[in-house]
Structure 1
Amino acid sequence: MVRFGPLSFRAALGRGGITMVKREGDGATPRAAMAVISGFRRARMLTPDQSGIPLKRVGARDGWCDAPAHAAYNRHVRLPFAASHETLTRDDVLYDFGFVLDWNIGSRRRGGGSAIFLHVAKPGLPPTQGCVALSRRDLQRLMPFIRCGTVIRVV
């Protein structure tokens, strides 16, 4: 459940549950208070930005490094990229809108988990790979209130 003031929204969390000891690839969502540090959106979307922060437009050359040994670990990268990475332009709607949460970014630990985002959920809210996901409607409802520094708490 995600709460914003008096509002509550159903949320999808990681297939590995919630953990206090996050590891790369465990599929778990970290039990933590994570600040929003930036946002992104699919480049070719026609829906206007309705976010409290500017959303960087991402396209086919945008990715996120998930290779713990690489210097760019848990950072935005430009594709093609030789090390293991996630592509930010997906064939589904999950990354139509997304917010980067400060998990293992400000003080990075190799293998401590990467790419923890708040993003659009699949229909029916099945588990994520470790992110926090809301229905498209609920995320769009919250987007105008999300600012850099807004804290998402997973408890």
Structure 2
Amino acid sequence: MKGVIGKNGFTTSKKEGDGKSPVGIYSFGTAFGSETKPGGLKLGYKKTTEYDYWIDDQTSQDYNKWKTYKGNPADKWKSFERMNHELYKYGTVIHYNTNPIVKGKGSAIFLHVWRGETKPTAGCVAMAEKNVLALLKWLDPAQEPHIIMGTEESLKSVK
């Protein structure tokens, strides 16, 4: 399957807002999307709403966490992503910088629907909607699936 990564390539030293995808081997978290849970999905699934946000405000205790909030998000966080937009019609969380969370090391790394095969992401992995759906249906949490992110050279540093 074709896919795209961050507009500035891969990095072994990810920083918030650098436009790079983190090198490493990561497990998957919750699948999500603005649509009803697809049939045949084994991953946990959360249907997003207008109140769902992923927080990338480095000064917040909510940094790199999914939050549901019914107030004005700009009053609560300096920076956040809305989880109910078109690129997140279907996706899954990639467990990058989640345990422990290190502020400034990067947030909101997902596998999601792309804008197109020549349109990079801000740091996520993205692919055609049909391929995201096929991959989400293939992933079985009982098998402990992981994603390997990086170039052959950059992965030499991964333990």
Q: TM-score range by the shorter chain?
A: 0.7 to 0.9
**Who is 1:52 aligned against?**
42
2:109 alignment partner AA: I
Identity %: 29
**1:139 is aligned to 2:132:** yes
Determine which of 95, 106, 113 is the counterpart of 1:102.
Answer: 95
1:142 CA drift (Å): 1.5
In structure 2, distance between residues paired with 1:110 and 1:88: 20
Q: 2:29 aligns with which of 24, 37, 42?
A: 37
CA contact (8 A) 2:54 2:67 kept: yes
The offset of 1:54, in angstroms, is 2.5
Deviations for 1:51-104, whole angstroms, at most 9, x for unmatched residues?
A: 2213111100000000111100000112333211100011xx310011011100
Q: Are residue 22 (structure 1) and residue 14 (structure 2) matched?
A: yes
Q: TM-score, normalised by structure 2?
A: 0.84
> Cα distance, 1:34 vs. partner?
1.0
Partner of 1:5: none
Q: 2:91–2:132: 8 Å Cα contact kept in structure 1?
A: no
Residue of 1, 9, 12 corresponding to 2:4: 12
Name the CA shift for 1:125/1:97 in 2 (closer, same or farther; >3 Å): farther
Structure 1 unaligned runs (5+)? 1-8
Structure that is richer in strand per residue: 1
Look up the equivalent residue of 1:140 and give its one-letter code: L
Aligned CA RMSD, in angstroms, stands at: 1.5
1:150 aligns with 2:140: no
Amino acid at match of 1:74: N
Number of residue pairs matched by the alignment? 143
Q: Which residue of 2 aligns with 1:6?
A: none
1:89 to 75, 84, 89: 84
